[in-house]
Amino acid sequence: MEQAQLYSKISVLPSDLQSEVNDFVDFLLSKKKKDAKAKKPVYGCAKGEICISKDFDEPLEDFKEYM
């Protein structure tokens, strides 16, 4: 549907229905933004951003008396 046809159809509607059309268009735009944000991350996209120290599995000094 061409924009001119859509505009002519909306322009003949009563003002209350034009308001509803406007609200619906806003809803569709917000839905589109949410869908764009909901993309799943790609495997390996955070590679190199997190580092674990070499002694991660070593016992902690604070717990020596309990062991």
Residue ranges per structural domain of the chain: 3-66
Exposed (0-12), middle (13-18) or buried (19+): which is 55, by Cβ within 10 Å? exposed
What pLDDT, on a 0 to 100 scale, did the predictor assign at position 15? 93
Give the model's confidence band at 57: pLDDT under 50 very low, under 70 low, under 90 confident, else very high: confident
Evaluate if residue 52 carries a pLDDT over 80. Answer: yes
Is the pTM value of this prediction over 0.75? Answer: no
Tokens 């002519």 — which residue?
A: 8
Tokens 């059309």 — which residue?
A: 21
What pLDDT, on a 0 to 100 scale, did the predictor assign at position 38? 64
Average pLDDT over residues 27-56: 83
